[in-house]
Each structure stands twice: as structure tokens, then as C-alpha cells.
């Protein structure tokens, strides 16, 4: 079983965690384990990271952006040596 240390945890957050754990009748450690289980879940990790990222940032109905019309490329400058 692995363990972690959480550094730089604000006093306010620690106090809220302590109160929340007491409300649920368990230790702070058990409260944190429960929070992590609910947020991350006990299910297996996604096998395809690229597909997971693509699904997360997929186009949704919340934002509709207009794609501007493309213009033709301009001609590159001449690089002739014999001007």
C-alpha cells in the first residue's frame, strides 16, 4: 500500500478537512482517501491517453467559433545571387 505526503496545505483547508472528517465520523486520512476515490474513481485508467485527451477537448455546443476564410499565400521573396 502506498502513502503520500501533502506539503504546503493551507491551515484553512486542513481545518475544513478536519471538520468534514468529523462530520462523517472518520479520520482525516480516511476522509482524503474517500475524496480521492470519488474524484478519481476505482476504475481502470484509460488505455488510450490520446483518445482521452481528444474526448476532453472535443468541440462542444458551448462555444461556436467562426473559422476565418483562408487567403492565398504570398509569393516568397527572390533569393537570386546574381542581382
**How much is the pLDDT for 17?**
95
**How much is the pLDDT for 60?**
65
Domain that holds residue 32: 9-42
Q: Which of 19-28, 48-57, 70-79 has the lowest mean pLDDT?
A: 48-57
Is 19 part of a structural domain of the chain?
A: yes
Cell of 80: 537570386
Which stretch of DSSP H or E encloses residue 17?
helix 11-23
Is 34 part of a structural domain of the chain?
A: yes
Cα separation, 29 vs 18, whole angstroms: 9
Is 76 part of a structural domain of the chain?
A: no
Asked if residue 57 has pLDDT above 70, the reply is yes
**How much is the pLDDT for 21?**
95
Provide the domain count of the chain. Answer: 1
**How much is the pLDDT for 52?**
80
Residue written as cell 502513502?
3
CA 31, 37, 38, 41: dihedral to nearest 10 degrees? 180
Helix axis angle for 28-40 and 11-23, nearest 10°, is 90
Cell of 57: 477537448
Q: Is the pTM of this model over 0.75?
A: no
Segment 63-68 shows an average pLDDT of: 80
Amino acid at each position: 500500500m502506498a502513502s503520500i505526503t501533502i506539503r504546503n496545505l493551507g491551515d484553512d483547508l486542513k481545518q475544513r478537512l478536519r471538520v468534514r472528517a468529523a462530520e462523517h465520523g472518520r479520520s482525516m486520512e480516511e476522509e482524503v482517501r474517500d475524496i480521492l476515490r470519488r474524484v478519481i474513481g476505482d476504475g481502470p485508467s484509460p488505455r488510450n491517453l490520446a483518445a482521452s485527451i481528444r474526448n476532453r477537448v472535443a468541440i462542444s455546443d458551448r462555444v461556436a467559433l467562426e473559422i476565418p476564410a483562408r487567403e492565398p499565400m504570398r509569393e516568397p521573396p527572390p533569393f537570386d545571387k546574381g542581382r
